[in-house]
Amino acid sequence: MNPRTRRSLRFRLTTVYASLLAVALLLYAGCVSVFFLHSLREQLDLSLDRDVEAVESMLTSSPTGQIKPDSEEGEAHEGKFRQGFLLEAWSSVGSLLYRSEALEGQPLGSAPVVAAGLSPEPPRSFRLPSGLRVRALSRVHHLSNGDPVLVRLAVSEESLWQEFWEMSTALGIMLPLILFGVVITGYLVAAKALKPVDSMAKRAAEITAEQLHERLKIDNPDDELGQLGVAFNTTLARLENSFDQLRRFTADASHELRTPLTAIWSVGEVSLHKPGDQKYYRDIIGSMLEETSRLTKLVDSLLTMSRADAGRVQPHLTETRLFDLATESANLLEVLAEEKQQTLRVEGDETVTAMADRTILRQALINLIDNAVKYSPARGEIRVRVTNNEGFPYIEVQDSGPGIPPEHRERIFERFYRVDKARTRAEGGSGLGLSIAQWAVSINKGSIEVQCEPGPGSVFRIRLPKASAATSATIH
Ligand code: ADP
């Protein structure tokens, strides 16, 4: 991974994390402040409530109708009136009966609306014209003579606000510190968590095509990064396998191509230095053409394999009569069988059908019958049998050749694998016939296996998928 991208991933993780945390802390601080202010005001309202009661108990009206603090209690509270209690009393006709000196003439609100009688106002906070922040509460009080008065009592909110600001300042200092601490820790944790990616990336960058056997070191295969490493190692193993196959294939293919080319070259070279008659040259040309035909077959097989490997072949599945296909393939090889005076017979159930790509499946059958002819002795017998077993269509190619020894049966479908190298090359085999047959069957969703009963001869059996009754389209 590019270090810049990696840095930015770590940076992005931390930024997202920090932003979310900052929002959460801000919300938290906001909520705490609102609740704190609310609870401070509640306490203030409670104490105001008590104070209003105290104030009510000491209000009496003077003969002039004015109101003043009275009684001993009143005298005792006079000091308080001056310092903290800010009091106003309004008559039921809307005239001011009393205002504390401490208010210095500033009103605690406008004159009450008296049309519907005096009624208490809800507690409220506001600033006096002097700038003092106060909390005011009001009550309708009945004087000893029964007259109702509206009593407004206010106290300064300055100490409340001071407490509030102290708490806000503490939050304002603590939260950025917490945020900073958490972000730094988060950044370090992200750096530590991404460290294995760093070492994996470095190691991966060191692995070249020549070192595909190397693997990433995985500390903890169970965590997410470990799983990524395991997946990468698995891919490397597959890649190594593919590279090995490719190397082997190229080496084998070069070797196979070289053999007929060397033969053509030596025959040509010898004939150049050796004078001869027309028959001699005809034989030489004939032998060269034989090698060229072998070369062409080999190149065709290589092309088929390479197209198969590239996955470019798309089978065109149609419902196919297997007996007809087997007869058609056998007819193509009839001449070769006749040359060896062999009997080549197609038998079995003529009605069996399968969903298959005719052309590709025919290639498999031709390769199997070709082998059967090649490896069966002169006057031998070859049977191609079409059957249906439990709904599955089968095609078997049975020969009277030498059979395949058990230790080779697993490997004969590998590319360029031959049981007896010298003999099969002499027979003109390239070692690709069965690989192509296996590919052709598997692309038709079938399977192929070899069976060798005790005694001479072998049976290659192709099993195909059931032809669906619904797809009774064109039958070929
Ligand atoms: P080739 O072109 O050499 O025949 P194949 O891939 O068709 O290559 O076959 C691989 C090897 O399997 C052959 O070289 C041969 O040794 C063996 N083989 C294939 N078919 C038969 C058979 N019918 N009888 C005996 N041996 C066979």
Question: What are the chain's domains?
Answer: 3-163 (3.30.450), 224-309 (1.10.287.130), 313-463 (3.30.565.10)
Cα angle for residues 290, 293, 297 (degrees, 5° grid) = 140
Q: What pLDDT was estimated at residue 472?
A: 43
- Which residues of the chain fall below pLDDT 50? 1, 71-72, 74, 82, 469-473
pLDDT recorded at residue 469: 45
Q: What is the pLDDT of residue 35?
A: 95
Q: Which atom of ligand 1 is nearest to the CA of 436?
A: 6
- 209 CB neighbour count, 10 Å cutoff: 8
Strand runs labelled E in 246-399: 318-321, 343-348, 353-356, 381-389, 392-398
Residue 264's pLDDT is 92
**Radius of gyration of the chain measured on its C-alpha atoms:** 52
Determine the distance from the C-alpha atom of residue 156 to the mean position of all C-alpha atoms in its chain, rounded to a whole number: 63
pLDDT at 6: 54
Distances (CA, A) of 431 to 84, 110, 382, 411, 423: 112, 112, 21, 11, 12
- pLDDT score for 468: 63
Q: What is the largest CA-CA distance in the chain?
A: 165
Report the separation in Å between the CA atom of 412 and the middle of ligand 1, taken as the mean of its atom positions: 7
Quick one: pLDDT at residue 381?
96
Residue of 363, 376, 398, 418 with the most ligand 1 atoms within 8 Å of its CB, for mutation: 418
Surface-to-core class of residue 253, CB atoms within 10 Å of its CB (0-12 exposed, 13-18 middle, 19+ buried): buried
Residues with CB under 6 A from ligand 1: 367, 371-372, 375, 399, 401-402, 404, 412, 417-420, 424, 429-435, 458
Residue 475 DSSP symbol: B
Distance, CA of 299 to CA of 256 (rounded, Å): 10
Token code pair at residue 349: 């159930």
- DSSP 3-state assignment of 460? strand
CA distances from 247 to 252, 253, 260 (A): 8, 10, 21
Quick one: residue 475, left, alpha or beta (phi over 0 = left, psi -120 to 50 = alpha)?
A: beta
Give the separation between CA 300 and CA 218, rounded to whole angstroms. 45
pLDDT given at position 83 = 54
Residues 118 and 139: beta-carbon distance below 8 Å: no
Distance 267 CA to ligand 1 centre (A): 27
